[in-house]
């Protein structure tokens, strides 16, 4: 990795430097392979080899777009885009998906045409040797790119690397079709070309699906959320942490919120002191901007302990309720606060609200229930 970064004069310790160097390497390798395959494919009248060359050229274009997207995504926030430009990488992925789909459809049309209007196939050992060498190079490039993508946290690089590895497998199939022709005289070239085009189309749909899912809003990074929860819950003065939301503004840019449980007797000044320090620490160490909500907790109140045990019985008996928290008795009123966490299979929240309200009213009729029902976001 360090050698490649130095080769393209990039810092191996910087995310953008790694993406730039690996993308530049991918552009150079794919263009060289594409040129060799197209020339040899035209000479051999092999649509499968030409299709591979076109696919390699499209791989070079995806690396260009990945490079451009990374550069744009690294722009600093401004007045028009206060959360930065991180999501530009997702827009880049949409363009890449469109290019892959277009290439695959064009390959499929050409292959189907050759099935009904076959042309003479001229297979040469040098052409097969080039395809075999390119398969090895693409496989190694794919492994390297996937590793770099995981190291830098770039989903775009990981996608490009996986595409490279798939190309190497397709090259092996192309070689097998040529060997079949040499041995038996039967040409399956057009059929192999059609098969490869379908695989390219599938790859395009996969990129499109994953990118649209990111734009619509996937759950927050579970591993990052677990680290943040450990950091928050280990902070003196915080009794618990729940309801974390993480909003993705790019591959490594998050903002969000979390509710923390704090002893109800602590003053606003005391709470501010350790929450503000925690917020700054999380920004510095995890590059996450968190807003904190506060739940008051009275853990020493005997009635609260009884109420919690009662609620736990309801949770255990209901398949769609995962947990509860924020149980608090308002000392100045009859209000009883409680939050229920439910799964996404629950369709009728109003029915659950009615069941839980009746359940609590039977044992604690003197209290006015203030219930919040919500799902987990990470």
340 pLDDT band, cuts 50/70/90, is very high
Lowest mean pLDDT among 40-44, 95-99, 118-122, 243-247: 118-122
Same domain? For 226 and 212 the reply is: no
- Rounded to 5°, the CA angle 330-335-338 comes to 90
- Which of 154, 188, 216 is a domain's end point? 216
Average pLDDT rounded to a whole number, residues 339-366: 92
Strand arrangement, sheet containing 288-297: 240-248, 254-263, 288-297
- Give residue 356's pLDDT: 94
For residue 78, what are the domain limits? 2-216
Average pLDDT rounded to a whole number, residues 333-359: 92
- Give residue 78's pLDDT: 80
Query: Would you say residue 111 has pLDDT above 70?
Result: yes
Query: Would you say residue 334 has pLDDT above 80?
Result: yes
More confident residue, 316 or 185: 316
**Residue with tokens 């939301």, as numbered in its chain:** 245
Same domain? For 13 and 152 the reply is: yes
Closest CA to 256 of 230, 223, 219, 231: 219
Average pLDDT, the chain: 82
Same domain? For 342 and 364 the reply is: yes
Same domain? For 200 and 239 the reply is: no
CB 11 within 8 A of CB 5: yes
Same domain? For 193 and 236 the reply is: no
- Give residue 138's pLDDT: 86
CB 198 within 8 A of CB 100: no
Q: Which of 63-67, 130-134, 144-148, 351-355 is most confident?
A: 351-355
- Rounded to 5°, the CA angle 374-246-155 comes to 130
Query: How far is it, in rounded angstroms, from Cα 269 to Cα 292?
Result: 15
Same domain? For 168 and 301 the reply is: no
Tally the domains of the chain: 2
- Give residue 123's pLDDT: 62
More confident residue, 372 or 39: 372
1 pLDDT band, cuts 50/70/90, is low
Same domain? For 202 and 62 the reply is: yes
Same domain? For 190 and 42 the reply is: yes
366 pLDDT band, cuts 50/70/90, is very high
Query: Would you say residue 3 has pLDDT above 60?
Result: no
Same domain? For 331 and 370 the reply is: yes
More confident residue, 24 or 185: 24
Query: How far is it, in rounded angstroms, from Cα 107 to Cα 130?
Result: 21
Query: How far is it, in rounded angstroms, from Cα 324 to Cα 302?
Result: 18
- Which of 188, 216, 244 is a domain's end point? 216
- Give residue 227's pLDDT: 92
CATH of the domain at 181: 1.20.1510.10
- Give residue 364's pLDDT: 92
Average pLDDT rounded to a whole number, residues 312-334: 89
Same domain? For 203 and 240 the reply is: no
- Give residue 352's pLDDT: 94
Give the burial class of 334: count Cβ atoms within 10 A of its Cβ; 0-12 exposed, 13-18 middle, 19 or more buried.
Answer: exposed
- Which of 216, 245, 278 is a domain's end point? 216
pTM of the model: 0.66
Same domain? For 248 and 336 the reply is: yes
Lowest mean pLDDT among 49-58, 198-207, 337-346: 49-58
Closest CA to 328 of 274, 263, 270, 269: 263
Phi/psi of residue 162, nearest 5 degrees: -65, -40
* Percent of the residues in the chain that have a pLDDT greater than 90, as a whole number: 22
Same domain? For 84 and 170 the reply is: yes
More confident residue, 112 or 156: 112
* Percent of the residues in the chain that have a pLDDT greater than 70, as a whole number: 90
Q: In this predicted model, what pLDDT tens digit does every residue of 211-257 receive, in sequence order?
A: 888 788 777 778 888 999 999 999 999 988 988 888 877 766 788 89
């Amino acid at each position: 990795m360090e050698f490649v970064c130095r080769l393209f004069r990039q810092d191996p310790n910087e995310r953008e430097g790694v993406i730039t160097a690996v993308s530049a390497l991918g552009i150079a390798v794919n263009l060289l392979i594409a040129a060799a395959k197209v020339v040899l494919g035209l000479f051999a009248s092999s649509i499968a080899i030409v299709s591979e060359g076109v696919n390699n050229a499209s791989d070079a274009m995806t690396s260009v777009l990945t490079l451009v997207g990374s550069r744009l995504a690294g722009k600093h926030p401004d007045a028009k885009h206060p959360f930065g430009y991180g999501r530009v990488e997702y827009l880049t992925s949409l363009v890449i998906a469109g290019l892959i789909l277009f290439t695959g459809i064009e390959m499929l049309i050409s292959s189907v045409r050759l099935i009904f209007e076959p042309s003479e196939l001229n297979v040469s050992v040098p052409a097969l040797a080039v395809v075999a060498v390119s398969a090895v190079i693409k496989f190694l490039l794919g492994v390297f790119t996937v590793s770099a993508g995981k190291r830098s946290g770039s989903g775009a690089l990981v996608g490009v690397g996986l595409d490279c590895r798939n190309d190497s497998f397709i090259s092996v199939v192309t070689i097998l079709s040529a060997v079949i022709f040499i041995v038996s005289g039967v040409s399956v070239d057009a059929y192999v070309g059609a098969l490869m085009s379908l695989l390219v189309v599938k790859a395009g749909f996969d990129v499109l699906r994953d990118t649209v899912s990111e734009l619509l809003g996937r759950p927050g990074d579970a591993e990052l959320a677990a680290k943040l929860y450990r950091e928050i819950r280990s902070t003196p003065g915080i009794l618990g942490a729940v309801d974390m939301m993480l909003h993705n503004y790019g591959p490594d840019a998050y903002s969000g919120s979390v509710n923390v449980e704090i002893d109800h007797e602590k003053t606003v000044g005391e709470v501010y002191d350790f929450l503000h320090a925690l917020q700054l620490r999380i920004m510095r160490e995890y590059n996450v901007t968190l807003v904190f909500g506060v739940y008051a907790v009275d853990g020493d109140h005997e009635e609260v302990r009884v109420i919690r045990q009662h609620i736990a019985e309801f949770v255990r008996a209901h398949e769609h309720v995962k947990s509860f928290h924020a149980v608090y008795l308002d000392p100045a009123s009859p209000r009883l606060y409680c939050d229920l966490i439910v799964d996404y299979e629950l369709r009728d929240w109003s029915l659950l609200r009615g069941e839980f309200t009746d359940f609590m009213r039977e044992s604690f009729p003197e209290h006015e229930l203030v219930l919040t029902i919500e799902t987990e976001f990470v």
